[in-house]
Amino acid sequence: MTDPHDELEDLLRPRPEASTLALRGAILARTERALARLRWTRRAVRSAAVAAAVLAGAGAGWLLKPACVVEVAGADRPVPVLVPVFVGVEVDASRPPATPELLPSAAAAELQAEQLDDPAEVARLYRTAGDRFLDRHDYPNATRCYRLFLARAGDDGLTPEKGDSWLLTSLKNAAYKEKIDEPTTRD
Amino acid sequence: MDRGGANWTERAVRDAVLRGDAAAWRAWYAEHFDQLAAYARWRCGGLADLADDVTQEAWVTAVRRLRSFDPDKGPFFAWLCGIASNAARNAIRARRRHSARFRRLDADAPAAPADSAAAERVAAALAELPDHYEAVLRAKYLDRMTVAAIASESGETPKAVESLLSRARQAFREAFEKAAHD
Are the C-beta atoms of B87 and B43 separated by less than 8 Å? no
Q: Do B10 and B85 fall into the same domain?
A: yes
Could you list the beta-strand ranges (E) of B55-126.
Answer: none
Which amino acid is it at B44? C
Residue A187's pLDDT is 46
Residue B6's pLDDT is 74
Residue pLDDT, tens place only, A48-81:
999 999 999 998 888 887 766 556 666 667 767 7
Q: Do B109 and B168 fall into the same domain?
A: no
Q: Do B147 and B107 fall into the same domain?
A: no
Residue B68's pLDDT is 94
* Residue spans per domain, chain A: 22-63, 106-186
Q: Do B166 and B77 fall into the same domain?
A: no
pTM of the model: 0.59
| CA distance linking residue A162 with residue B29, whole number of Å | 124
Which position has the higher pLDDT, B116 or B144? B144
| CA distance linking residue B130 with residue B138, whole number of Å | 12
Which residues span the domain enclosing B77? Answer: 1-123
| CA distance linking residue A37 with residue A31, whole number of Å | 10
- Last-in-domain residue among B123, B145, B173: B123
Q: Do B44 and B117 fall into the same domain?
A: yes
CATH at B181: 1.10.10
For chain B, the domain total comes to 2
B21-25: long-range contacts at Cβ-Cβ below 8 A with a sequence spacing of 24 or more?
B22/A32, B22/A35, B25/A31, B25/A32, B25/A35
Chain A interface mutation, best of B54, B66, B140, B165, highest count of A Cβ atoms under 10 Å: B140
Contact B59 A8 (CB under 8 A): no
| CA distance linking residue A165 with residue A154, whole number of Å | 18
Q: How sure is the predictor about A91, in pLDDT bands with cuts at 50, 70 and 90?
A: low
Q: Do B119 and B181 fall into the same domain?
A: no
Instruction: State whether residue B150 sits within 8 Å of chain A by CB.
Output: no
Residue in A13, A20, A34 closest to B37 by CB: A20
Residue pLDDT, tens place only, B37-73:
999 999 999 999 999 999 999 999 999 999 999 999 9
Cα B48 to the chain's mean position, in Å? 14
Residue A52's pLDDT is 93
CA end-to-end span of chain B, whole Å? 40
Provide mean pLDDT across the span B75-82. Answer: 95
Q: How sure is the predictor about B138, in pLDDT bands with cuts at 50, 70 and 90?
A: very high
Instruction: Please state the ipTM of this predicted complex.
Output: 0.81
Work out the mean pLDDT of chain B and round it to a whole number.
89
CATH at B94: 1.10.1740.10
Nearest residue to B77 via CA among B31, B118, B42:
B31
Question: What is the share, in percent, of chain A residues with pLDDT greater than 90?
Answer: 20
Q: Is the pLDDT of residue B143 over 90?
A: yes
- The residues on A that touch B, with CB distances below 8 Å, are 1-2, 8-9, 11-18, 20, 23-24, 26-28, 30-32, 34-36, 38-39
Are the C-beta atoms of B155 and B80 separated by less than 8 Å? no
Q: Do B111 and B41 fall into the same domain?
A: yes
Question: What is the share, in percent, of chain B residues with pLDDT greater than 70?
Answer: 90
Residue A73's pLDDT is 63
Q: Do B135 and B178 fall into the same domain?
A: yes
Residue pLDDT, tens place only, A15-42:
877 777 888 999 999 999 988 888 888 8
Provide mean pLDDT across the span A85-90. Answer: 69
- Last-in-domain residue among B108, B123, B138: B123
Residue A70's pLDDT is 59
Residue A29's pLDDT is 94
Please list, in sequence order, all residues whose beta carbon lies within 8 angstroms of the beta carbon of residue A123, skipping any fewer than 6 positions away.
A149, A152, A153, A157
Q: Is the pLDDT of residue B109 over 60?
A: no
Q: Is the pLDDT of residue B140 over 70?
A: yes
Q: Do B74 and B148 fall into the same domain?
A: no
Instruction: Give the torsion through C-alpha atoms of B57, B60, B63, B65, to 10 deg.
Output: -50
Q: In chain A, what residues touch B28 (CB-CB under 8 Å)?
A: none
Which position has the higher pLDDT, B16 or B101? B16
Q: Do B114 and B146 fall into the same domain?
A: no
Instruction: Measure in Å the smallest separation between the Cα of B9 and chain A Cα atoms.
Output: 20
Q: Is the pLDDT of residue B32 over 50?
A: yes
Work out the mean pLDDT of chain A and round it to a whole number.
81
Q: Do B96 and B153 fall into the same domain?
A: no
Provide mean pLDDT across the span A131-140. Answer: 88
Q: Is the pLDDT of residue B14 over 50?
A: yes
Contact B25 A8 (CB under 8 A): no
Q: In chain B, what residues touch A27 (CB-CB under 8 Å)?
A: 33, 55-56, 59-60
Chain A residue with Cα closest to B138: A12
Q: Do B68 and B9 fall into the same domain?
A: yes
Show which of residues 80-99 on chain B sit within 8 Å of chain A, judged by CB atoms.
Answer: none
Instruction: State whether residue B141 sits within 8 Å of chain A by CB.
Output: yes
| CA distance linking residue A76 with residue B146, whole number of Å | 97
Are the C-beta atoms of B139 and B168 separated by less than 8 Å? no
Nearest residue to B54 via CA among B100, B90, B96, B99:
B90
- Last-in-domain residue among B123, B143, B170: B123
Chain B residue with Cα closest to A27: B56
Which position has the higher pLDDT, B130 or A173? B130
